[in-house]
Amino acid sequence: MTINAVAQTLAGQSVAAGLDDVVAAETRLSHVDGQAGELIISGFHLHQLADWSFEQVLELLWRDLTPEPMDAARIREALGKARVRAHTLMQPLLPGLAHLNAVERLRLLLSALPDEEHLPHHVMAVGAVPVFTAAIARQASGLKPIAPDASLSHAEDFLKLLRNEMPTSDKVTALDTYLATVSDHGLNASTFTARVIASTKAGMFSSVVGGLCALKGPLHGGAPGPVLDMLDAIGTEKNIRPWLTDTLARGERLMGFGHRIYRVRDPRANVLKGAVSRLKEGSERIGFAGKVEAVALELLKEKKPLRPLQTNVEFYTALVLEAVGFPRESFTNVFAAGRMAGWTAHVLEQEQTGRLIRPQSRYIGQRAGSF
Ligand code: ACO
């Protein structure tokens, strides 16, 4: 077919802007039912995973995708080694990053993982994020990074790397719940990005760096920090309604509300609300946040009565992560620590089964000779 003939054929096709209804991959990793408000992760409803360790979730997601199958105990051991290795690789790079923000530093450190790394790359990618995230958060407070403790669970060591003290078991449980909750979510923007890169055979680290770059935007994983900014800006109960009304009247978005797929409440919001409710550190915020949420939902319903926007995962993410002790600048990086489970599994799945992902575009520019 000539170039002109191809252009003619494509000209007749409609453009799937936002790719809303396009099914671009088959996966056994997760399923999002936006009408029913259901998230299934490798055969389990999200709420069934709420009290699993992150290692158990990784066992589920990585099952049948790696040359050597690993149970949760072996994954825990392998992640310990990966954290230690990531700490060694990070040390010479960290001092040069002070001018970057938290997610930019994580982007740079992750992209420094070498393709010839001897540890399995999916384990290394998951192991590295808490080490980098905690060191980045400490650097912002003028503190030196802590050496990982390979004998601890991933969530335990994540919190210890942050504060240099053993975390309480309720905080570890809340972080495990958070990491499990955000571990995978269908073909979201960052996972799709990672799969596109994996489809070119660029390798695990390049693929997950791409995932992080997509996650960083405020329409995806950049929202939870701004949720706390919003709660702080509202400040008092009296100010809830006027603040939210003015914000919507200015055409601005309320952070932590709305979702491309869910038409009902995001099931992850409930699991995280439960997790934060069990922490004494979260009690002050949660009462106020609940009142903000109720008024926001009321106003959003007035705005769009036929399809009212609902609370999304980021609203309660902000409360959980604050309660377990992360500074808000770290929130996107902690999200990446959980979503790394899904990104690595999707990259492995894409490498096993996928073809090069290469859609078409419809040319609307000028044609040669028509200038
Ligand atoms: N507050 C107010 N209005 C909103 C919001 C919101 N949070 N979200 C969407 N709208 C409005 C839009 O202004 C638009 O109105 P219009 O039709 O009058 O122009 C309409 O709802 C549809 O918006 P779209 O941007 O087309 O919806 P989309 O499905 O693309 O957006 C998104 C989904 C990006 C999550 C959006 O709801 C949003 O920006 N939310 C706030 C940021 C946020 O919480 N992000 C985290 C998402 S969860 C995650 O990625 C893990």
Checking if the pLDDT of 316 tops 80, the result is: yes
Contact 76, 55 (CB under 8 A): yes
What's the mean pLDDT when you consider all of the chain? 93
% of the chain exceeding 90 in pLDDT: 78
pLDDT band, very low/low/confident/very high, at 3 (cuts 50, 70, 90): very low
Atom of ligand 1 nearest to the CA of 258: 37
> Which two three-digit tokens encode residue 199?
């489809």
- Residue identifier of the C-alpha nearest atom 1 of ligand 1: 253
Residue 310 CA to its chain's centroid (Å): 19
Q: Radius of gyration over alpha carbons of the chain, in Å? A: 22
State which ligand 1 atom lies nearest to the alpha carbon of 252: 2
Six token digits for residue 141: 């407070």
Query: Ligand 1: which of 254, 257, 264 to mutate, judged by most atoms within 8 Å of the beta carbon?
Result: 257
Q: Phi/psi at 41 (nearest 5 deg)?
A: -115, 110
Single out the residue of 314, 308, 332, 72 nearest to residue 216, CA to CA. Answer: 332
pLDDT for res 1? 46
pLDDT in tens, 151-205: 999 999 999 999 999 999 999 999 999 999 999 999 999 999 999 999 999 999 9
**Confidence at 73, pLDDT banded by 50, 70, 90:** very high
**What's the 335 CA to ligand 1 centre distance in angstroms?**
19
Atom of ligand 1 nearest to the CA of 182: 51
CA separation for the pair 191, 208 (Å, rounded):
8
Name every residue whose Cβ is closer than 8 Å to that of residue 300 and which is 6 or more positions away in sequence: 248, 254, 257, 258, 308, 309, 310
Buried b (16+ CB within 10 A) or exposed e, 162-184: bbeeebeeebbbbbbbbbbbbbb
Q: State the pLDDT confidence band at 12, using cuts at 50, 70 and 90.
A: low
Return the bridge partners of 257, or none. Answer: 311
| Catalytic center residues | 259, 314
Choice among 26-35, 79-88, 243-252, 281-290 with the minimum mean pLDDT: 281-290
Residues with CB under 6 A from ligand 1: 219-221, 223, 253-260, 309, 312-314
Express each pLDDT in 321-362 by its tens digit: 999 999 999 999 999 999 999 999 999 999 998 789 999 999
Query: Tell me, what's the ipTM?
Result: 0.95
Q: For a pocket test of ligand 1, which of 312, 321, 343 has the largest count of ligand atoms closer than 8 A to its C-beta?
A: 312
- Ligand 1 centroid from CA 146, angstroms: 39
Residue 328 near residue 224 (C-beta atoms within 8 A): yes
Residue nearest to atom 27 of ligand 1 (CA): 260
Higher pLDDT, 340 or 265: 340
Q: Whose C-alpha lies nearest to ligand 1, atom 44?
A: 256
Instruction: Give the angle subtended at the CA of 265 by the CAs of 263 and 270, to the nearest 5°.
Output: 160
Is the CB of residue 70 less than 8 Å from the CB of residue 60? no
Could you give the CA distance from residue 121 to residue 130 in angstroms, rounded to a whole number? 15
Ligand 1 atom closest to the Cα of residue 251 is: 13
* 260 CA to centre of ligand 1 in angstroms: 7
**pLDDT given for residue 367 in this prediction:** 86
- The Cα 181–Cα 173 span in angstroms is 12
At CB < 8 A and 24+ separation, what contacts does 306-309 make?
307/263, 309/257, 309/258, 309/259
Task: Report the residue among 182, 216, 219 best suited for mutation to probe ligand 1: largest number of ligand atoms under 8 A from its CB.
Answer: 219
- pLDDT bucket at 9, cuts 50 / 70 / 90: low
Say which residues have a Cβ less than 8 Å from residue 318's Cβ, sequence separation at least 6: 224, 225, 227, 228, 231, 256, 328, 331
